[in-house]
Amino acid sequence: MLSRKGIWLLIVLSFMFILAACQSNDETPNDESNNGVTEEEVNETENDNTNAGNTNDNEEVNNETDASSESGGEVTVGIEAEPTSMDPHNTTDGNSATVQSTMFEGLLRFDEDMNIVNVLAEDYDYSDDATEVTFTLREGVTFHDGTEFDANVVKENLDFVRDSENGLARSSFFSFIDEVEVEDDFTVTIRSEEPNSAMASYMAHSSAAMKSVDEIEKKQEDEDYNLDREGAVGTGPFQFVEWRDSEHVIVEKFDDYWNEEELARVDQITFRPVQEASTRVNMLQTGEVDLIFPIPTLNAAELEEEEEIDLFTGPTTDVFYIGMNFENDKYEDLDVRQAMNHAVNKDGLIAQVLDGYGTIADSAIAPNVYGYSGQPIYEYDVEGAQELMDGSEQSDGFEATLWTRNSTEFISVAEYVAIQLEEIGIDVEVQAYESGTLFDMLDAGEDTDMWIGRWSPGTGEADYGLRPNFASDRVPPNFNNSGFYINEELDEMFDEALATPDEDEAMEIYAEIQQKIYEDAPWVFLHIPDAIIAKNRDLVGIYVLPSGAVNLNLAEFQ
């Protein structure tokens, strides 16, 4: 059996930065120009932004609390939108994942350094051919409703989410699973038809959390039972209290939590959806909330001057892009797609819209995703873009609709891109929607034209960074390839890369995949934003994954 240390996925997953008490916003600025660094590669683009005044997110930050820390109290968090669901099997957004992570746990999770660590599993081992992974489960764990966790719970959860008839958003995420077998009460094996060295990373993802089987049975017995609203029964340090639309989600400390070393330090966490970014900032400054994310770049410098506020920035695994629907004839011509890429000034976008907090996307995945391979960027060249348009089937230009989330950040990017594309005869109408509504529209796959996307692979590796957006079997409804991009050559390469036990060979295949995608331009590749998080200086014990989800389980006031 291969031990988990032998799986190449675990060697160098992307790093995270930690929010802690001992680093303040008046430390030495980060003058490193490489905002997207892996252990092996640097994103070498012309966008060499230095964010003067930022804390140095590449330094190790002390996340330990001192003797003056106090247990109890309430934490209030301002988030950009309310969750779409309380069910981790039916959500794909960071807001929902942040809220759910207080209540739910999986077999594995990522720690502060993006290493995979055991949670509800005490250990796991791969078979020699990487078609099976067997988990030894933790005993003595109970759900918030008092039911016990065991191997049958794992099987019921994974069988339920994989059943396409249940219509869960994460069904395709677990499509690699062929069978889940209960070996005994606390041993379970997950099997894949093909070798899959990324199975452990998938099981460390937030959507692999376990919920009470009683909740699953309620849904099976009554199809009208709303798991999204009522099914928040996990094993985590906090338990669900209430969700009031557009007002808040409240969780409270679970006194019978199994892990005595990681019991909740505060009594309650309240998540308040605040759509307007400037309002979130004001609420933090006045003490109405204790932590806010995300933060507009324009407010970052202002918050740097606040003595009672800590501001943190760091590269994310997010890639911003313009998606386009290949079922529309106007996007069939490669010249059109490449012209659109050359028409958008990414340096200008980062400087003017992001205030320098970002880097140009030179691949469909970010540099700190394992398996990343940077490509020669599409240089800003309006004349060259116009020549491509003139020689295309859309020489007279065309009208387009650009969907975006209705947050400040997304609308600003959308409007900037619309102005740029107008220069080459593409008349863009920007339409903004609440994020949950937009996700539903894209998942349905109807009337989609262009949209602003932001993608980050929660598994931290290339397969999940690429396959969901570009594999032919991932088109809507309910899948992520909203552009209906079909490339059978890539489909074969995806399968080949995942099946090979040779790490170097897999990396070569993923590099070739990224080259083909970038050259074929199914997206307008935009930028990789920096995460900007701000909190009350007295609030400690928090860390943020590059995916954008914030872990608050050990939050406390010092």
- CA pair distance 4, 505, nearest whole angstrom: 20
Helix, coil or strand: residue 422: helix
Rg (CA), the chain: 23
If one counts every other C-beta atom within 10 angstroms of the C-beta of residue 383, the result is 10
Pairing of β 179-184 and β 187-191: antiparallel
| CB-based burial, 92-106: b 16+ in 10 Å, e otherwise | bbbbbbbbbbbbbbb
Q: What is the DSSP letter of 52?
A: T
The confidence score (pLDDT) of residue 317 equals: 87
Contact 309, 537 (CB under 8 A): yes
- 286: number of Cβ within 10 Å: 8
Q: How many whole angstroms separate alpha carbon 550 and alpha carbon 102?
A: 10
What pLDDT score was predicted for residue 368? 82
Distance between CA 430 and CA 511 in Å, rounded?
34
Token digits of residue 253? 């400390």
pLDDT tens for 478-500 read: 789 999 999 999 999 998 888 87
pLDDT for the residue numbered 114: 64
Residue 210 β-bridge partners: 105
Residue 127 buriedness (CB in 10 A; 0-12 / 13-18 / 19+): middle
> What does the pLDDT read at residue 548?
65
**140 Cβ partners below 8 Å, 6+ apart?**
258
Burial group, residue 182, by CB count within 10 angstroms (0-12, 13-18, 19+):
middle
pLDDT of res. 297:
82
So what's the pLDDT on residue 544? Answer: 75
Q: Which amino acid is at 523?
A: W
Q: How far apart are CA 21 and CA 351, in angstroms?
A: 30
**Residues of the chain under the 70 pLDDT cut:** 1-70, 112-114, 501, 546-548
- By the 10 Å C-beta count (0-12 exposed, 13-18 middle, 19+ buried), 382 is classed as middle
Structural domains of the chain in order of their starting residue, each with its CATH number: 39-290+538-557 (3.40.190.10), 319-530 (3.10.105.10)
What are the CA-CA distances from residue 19 to residues 60, 95, 460, 504, 526 (Å)? 11, 18, 20, 34, 27
Note the Cα 127 to chain centre separation in Å.
29
Q: Are 141 and 240 in contact (CB under 8 A)?
A: no
